[in-house]
């Protein structure tokens, strides 16, 4: 028997002896297998992958108009010329009625969105839902009466490092392109792209324009949505990141249900990572898990019995290494049931049942401050549990928080940031938006303001 036949026989033996979960994965054992093509998968997937074109109108403003002396001597010119800014990305058809999922950064701020299908037809699209926390958005094609090809979601928790995957999108606007590679890593939580940091890493070539496109497995199912690359040149260097399909599924489900915001389970506790020093104190062999730093009274965490200094190590039997991993696992659990959370308390293992319910979101009373003050142009809101969760504030935070800032707002120019909690103005406490509106109604020579930013109290004095 030749060496090649012996090798082939050994490979067949190994494959036959593999556990059931790995039966679909094998090393090519013949020349015929090496000549296998991805074409059937591509032909099945391509019709459901689309190009997304977004455009917004911006007005070119002459900076000299900000100078009162210039305006005094030269007057204020008429309407300034407008310019159309365009962005390009990809998307995936996830519902036959014409629902498309893409990246939020592809359509952010867009006045007009168009979707081009693989067959070159083009449709106007409306934005159904935007979720900056996951960098996902859902679009709906306008005025359509037909059924469109879609991709089925894979269970991304079943993906393994080494699995072959295909990336499909529209890189650099050259047209629909397919690249292949493998899953290089799973559960990447230190990427810093979105609030929910839990990415599939792949070496399939991903470039600008691929954002929002499909990452599919060898069954033609959607395993992830391509969203970012690590690159020193701006082009692919073999390190791309995709949002797992299980997270995409949650966002799409909210859009299908008619929601304009994603509904997720709320824990009601602030978690922190485990450092080597903390691990040594807790008697752990390595830094792992998520340490409970705060529990909001009346929250699902509190009702389940979670306590300060508990160490969360698993969710529904799936181990977690850090708070980001917990955030992903918990956020992808279906609402209405319970999640089984494994913890260690004083070195002893315990299991708690946490109800899966959304955070309360009442009494925001969101307003835009228009009076002449350092807060002019800031959108502020009373802090609800849902808003605290959305802005990643301390779970027990109370008061008034900045939720948005216009680019040309006075508040932005003096340094206020989204997420700043305003606690006092000129020595008077701010507990609700009506307080802040009243305190900024009259111009002042000096403004003494106290805010909490990132857990730190800051006091500033500004001229009126």
Catalytic (active-site) positions: 105, 135, 211
Distance CA 44, CA 144 (A): 22
Among 462, 393, 398, residue whose Cα is nearest residue 429: 398
Q: Quick one: how far is CA 217 from the chain centroid?
A: 22
Q: Residue 157's CB: how many other CB atoms inside 10 A? A: 13
Bridge partners of residue 214, in order along the sequence: 168, 225
CA neighbours closer than 13 Å in the CB half-sphere of residue 409: 22
Question: Is residue 45 within a helix (H) or strand (E), and if so which, with residue range?
Answer: helix 39-45
**Residue 100 and residue 90: Cα distance in Å, rounded?**
10
Spatial distance between the Cα atoms of 39 and 43, rounded to a whole number of angstroms: 6
Closest by Cα among 353, 383, 364 to 267: 353
Q: Which two tokens stand for residue 172?
A: 């650099």
Residue spans of beta strands (DSSP E) within 233-279: 240-244, 269-273
DSSP three-state, residue 70: helix
Listed residue (45, 18, 46, 214) closest to 118, CA to CA: 46
């Amino acid at each position: 028997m030749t060496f090649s036949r012996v090798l082939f026989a050994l490979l067949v033996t190994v494959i036959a002896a593999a556990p059931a979960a790995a039966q679909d994965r094998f090393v090519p054992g013949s020349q015929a297998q090496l000549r296998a093509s991805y074409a059937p998968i591509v032909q099945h997937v391509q019709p459901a992958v689309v190009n997304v074109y977004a455009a917004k109108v911006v007005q070119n403003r002459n900076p000299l108009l900000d100078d009162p002396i210039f305006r005094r001597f030269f007057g204020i010119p008429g309407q300034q010329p407008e310019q159309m800014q365009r962005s390009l990305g990809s998307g995936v058809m996830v519902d036959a009625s014409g629902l498309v999922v893409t990246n939020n950064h592809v359509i952010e701020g867009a006045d007009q969105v168009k979707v081009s299908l693989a067959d070159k037809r083009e449709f106007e699209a409306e934005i159904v839902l935007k979720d900056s926390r996951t960098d996902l958005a859902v679009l709906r094609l306008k005025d359509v009466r037909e059924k469109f090809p879609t991709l089925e979601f894979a269970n991304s928790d079943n993906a393994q490092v080494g699995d072959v995957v295909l990336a499909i999108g529209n890189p650099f606007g050259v047209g629909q392109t397919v690249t292949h590679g493998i899953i290089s890593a799973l559960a990447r939580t230190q990427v810093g792209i979105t609030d929910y940091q839990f990415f599939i890493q792949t070496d399939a070539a991903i470039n600008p324009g691929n954002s929002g496109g499909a990452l599919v497995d060898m069954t033609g199912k959607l395993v992830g949505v391509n969203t970012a690359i690590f690159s020193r040149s701006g082009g692919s260097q073999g390190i791309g990141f995709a949002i797992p399909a299980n997270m995409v599924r949650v966002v799409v489900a909210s859009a299908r249900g008619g929601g304009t915001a994603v509904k997720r389970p709320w824990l009601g506790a602030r978690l922190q990572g485990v450092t080597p020093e903390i691990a040594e104190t807790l008697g752990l062999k390595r830094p792992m898990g998520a340490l409970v730093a705060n529990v909001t009274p009346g929250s699902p965490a509190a009702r389940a019995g979670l306590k300060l200094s508990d160490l969360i190590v698993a969710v529904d039997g799936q181990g977690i290494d850090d708070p980001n991993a917990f955030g992903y696992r918990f956020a992808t659990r279906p609402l209405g049931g319970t999640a089984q959370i494994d913890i260690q308390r004083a070195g002893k293992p315990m299991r708690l049942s946490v109800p899966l319910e959304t955070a309360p979101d009442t009494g925001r009373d969101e307003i835009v401050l228009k009076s002449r003050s350092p807060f002019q142009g800031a959108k502020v809101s009373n802090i609800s549990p849902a808003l605290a969760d959305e802005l990643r504030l301390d779970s027990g935070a109370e008061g008034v928080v900045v939720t948005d800032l216009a680019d040309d707002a006075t508040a932005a120019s003096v340094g206020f940031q989204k997420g700043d909690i305003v606690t006092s103005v000129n020595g008077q406490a701010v507990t609700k938006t009506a307080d802040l509106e009243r305190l900024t109604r009259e111009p002042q020579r000096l403004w003494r303001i106290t805010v909490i930013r990132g857990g730190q109290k800051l006091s500033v004095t500004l001229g009126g």
